Structures are given as C-alpha cells and as structure tokens.
Amino acid sequence: MNIQLQALLAAVAFVTFSTRFLRRSNLTAGLRKWATSFSPWTAKLFRCPHCLGFWLALPCAGLLAIDWPNFAIMLLLGWRGSFHINRLLNNLTVRGAKASDRQCHVCDKPYQKGFLYRLNRDFCSYPCWFDHLKDQHRSARPIFSPSGEFIRQEVYPMSFQNLSPNEANELRSNDSDTTYIDVRSMPEYENGHPAGSLNIPVMHREAMGMVPNPDFLRVLQSHFDLDAKLLIGCQSGARSVRASEALIAAGFTNITNVTGGYGGARNQAGEVVELGWMESGLPVEYGAEGDTSYPALVSVVNE
C-alpha cells in the first residue's frame, strides 16, 4: 500500500483551516447564526468541532484518496488531527495573551496562576466553571424510557444540593419562599407527608406497579418559575434524585434534594441508614385535600 503523504497533509491542513474559519471567523458569523436557527442538527454541527471536522474530512478524503486504506487514514487524521491542531492553536492564542488582559469568564476576577483553563476560557474556581456549564444549552431529554425506566439526565456537579430532612425543615422555616415538593405517588402522599408540602408525583402507583407520570415536568413548570426554591423529597431519596436531575436538565436553577426522604433510606437488609422526615419527628400531615394535592395542581394546568 502506498500512503499518499502529500494528499494526507493537504487533507489535514484543509480540515484544520476550514473548521477554524467556519467556527471562529467574523466572515462566517451570519452562517453560524443561520445554522443555529435552522435546525438542531445544523446547530450541533457548528457547536461541535468533532462533528464539523468529521463532515469536512469525509468529502476531502473521498476526493483525494486513491484506495480504501488511504481513504480511512485520510479521514481519521483529517478528522482527529485537525481537532488537536486547532486545540493547540487555541491554547497558544489564549495563553500567549497578557495576564492583565485575562480574567475569569464568569465573575471577571483578574487572572492569577492556578486558574482553570476550560473550553478556551479562564475560570477562577470550580464553582465558576460549573456555573458556566449549567448555563449552556442542552437538548431536552425525556425523563423515562419506553419501558418506564428513569433516564439519567445530563447534569453537572453541584447542579443541585443535598440536605437532610432536619436541614430542609430548618431552611423552609427560615425562608417562606422555599417549597417542598413531594414526588411520591398519591397514595403514599395521603398516608403521610411533610406538613405544607405539595404532591407532584414523578411516578404513579397503579395495579401493575409504578408507572411514569408524563406530566411531571409540565405541572411543575406551570406552577413555578425556573428560579423557584424547591425542596424535592420522596420516600427514601432515590426518586427525588432522579426528579432533581430532570428539573435541573429542564432549566430549574435552585433545586435541593432531601436525602432520606419521608421514610428514611434503608440498606439491603431493610435497616434504616439515614433517618427520614417522619423518623426525625418533623411536622407531618395526613390526607390529600385542598390545593396541595396532585389532582388540584394538575387541574389548574389542564384548565
């Protein structure tokens, strides 16, 4: 097999230049704006250097390669080589700038040695880095799979807090704007729940077992702003974690998971390893009447 060295270098150079030009040049700003609004596919194509590099390398390799082995080598090196060359150029560009011209991308703190360098930007700390990530656009994902299983949501560290039932009760006592959302099923809620909590089940209990609630996000989004202070609790702390992830992925920014839930977290032997709301002796209520019940909350949405 004869490797087309000159064609290979030409392919890498072409894809490197084209990717950089399309993603960074002022001359292509209008094209990027159009791609972002045209469709999710074209928006992702211009946001992702891997995707753009691949689709530029593919026709380039097809035109220059004389056989399949050369096509494969040209595609791989044109795609991956261009990405690493552009990343190196980005690092040299930013790190070559004067320290006086650099600052934290989030809080504008002047640059210091030890700053994090991520996505061609400087961040003074991990909290600022995570704050930046939380603001990035993420395509909406369903909460449940077709079989009714939870789909783990794409959330970043520190996206939501964890508090024990005692800490959650203290927070709610000191801040009247904080609302406890009980994501258990309606029968569980009726048998006892934290006093003053609202019932919005993430899953319903039916004869066949637990089934997803397709209106979970819709009901919450109808009753609360995205910056609302919400405590999310369930029976043991498992469902509330999934619900918290789903809310963060949907754009909510002030979510706190109540660990241990209402009944406490248990190990495989059934022993309580973390006290829940009820075992902690915190205020509870029974029944499901009035504006805090799920039927009342969903009826407002369906009007």
Whether the CB-CB separation of 298 and 215 falls below 8 Å is answered with yes
Give the count of beta carbons closer than 10 Å to the beta carbon of residue 11: 27
Whether the per-residue pLDDT at 117 is higher than 80: the answer is no
Residues 240-260: tens digit of each pLDDT: 998 998 888 788 889 999 999
Whether the CB-CB separation of 133 and 123 falls below 8 Å is answered with no
Residue 45's pLDDT is: 83
Whether the per-residue pLDDT at 97 is higher than 70: the answer is no
Whether the per-residue pLDDT at 211 is higher than 70: the answer is yes
Residue 153's pLDDT is: 59
Residue 278's pLDDT is: 93
Reduced to 3 states, what is the DSSP secondary structure of residue 198? Answer: strand
Whether the CB-CB separation of 229 and 201 falls below 8 Å is answered with no
- For domain 161-302, give its CATH number from 3.40.250.10, 3.20.20.140, 3.40.50.10280, 2.30.30.230: 3.40.250.10
Residue 257's pLDDT is: 95
Residue 270's pLDDT is: 79
Angle at 182 between CA 179 and CA 188, to 5 degrees: 150
Which has more pLDDT, 180 or 78? 180
Which has more pLDDT, 303 or 203? 203
Whether the per-residue pLDDT at 99 is higher than 70: the answer is no
Summary mean pLDDT of the chain: 85
User: Which residues does the annotation mark as catalytic?
Assistant: 234
Burial category of 286 from C-beta neighbours within 10 Å (exposed 0-12, middle 13-18, buried 19 and up): exposed
What is the rounded average pLDDT of the residues 135-155? 61
Whether the CB-CB separation of 201 and 215 falls below 8 Å is answered with no
Reduced to 3 states, what is the DSSP secondary structure of residue 94? Answer: helix
Whether the CB-CB separation of 189 and 288 falls below 8 Å is answered with yes
Residues 42-76: tens digit of each pLDDT: 887 887 778 888 999 999 999 998 899 889 999 99
Whether the per-residue pLDDT at 152 is higher than 80: the answer is no
Whether the per-residue pLDDT at 102 is higher than 70: the answer is yes
What is the rounded average pLDDT of the residues 184-209? 92
Whether the per-residue pLDDT at 34 is higher than 70: the answer is yes
Give the count of beta carbons closer than 10 Å to the beta carbon of residue 220: 25
- Rounded CA-CA distance 270/66 in Å is 66
What phi and psi, each to the nearest 5 degrees, are found at residue 178? -90, 130
Phi-psi region of 174 (alpha: psi -120 to 50; beta: other; left: phi over 0): alpha
Query: Token pair of 51, please?
Result: 């995707």
Closest CA to 23 of 58, 47, 44: 47
Measured in whole angstroms, the distance separating CA 116 from the mean position of its chain's CA atoms is 21
Reduced to 3 states, what is the DSSP secondary structure of residue 117? Answer: strand
Residue 245's pLDDT is: 86
What is the rounded average pLDDT of the residues 273-297? 91
Closest CA to 6 of 70, 62, 52, 54: 70
Residue 185's pLDDT is: 94
Query: Token pair of 138, please?
Result: 């993420």
Whether the CB-CB separation of 215 and 301 falls below 8 Å is answered with yes
Residue 149's pLDDT is: 64
* Range(s) within the chain of domains with CATH label 3.40.250.10: 161-302
Whether the per-residue pLDDT at 3 is higher than 70: the answer is yes
pTM above 0.95, yes or no: no
In terms of DSSP H, where are the helices of 108-149?
A: 126-134
Closest CA to 284 of 197, 150, 209, 193: 193
Bridge partners (DSSP) of residue 203 are 212
The per-type count for the chain, helices as H runs and strands as E runs, is 12, 13
Reduced to 3 states, what is the DSSP secondary structure of residue 228? Answer: coil
Residues 72-84: tens digit of each pLDDT: 999 999 898 888 8
Whether the per-residue pLDDT at 2 is higher than 80: the answer is no
Closest CA to 260 of 171, 194, 209, 187: 194
Tell me the pLDDT band of 172, cut-offs 50, 70 and 90: very high
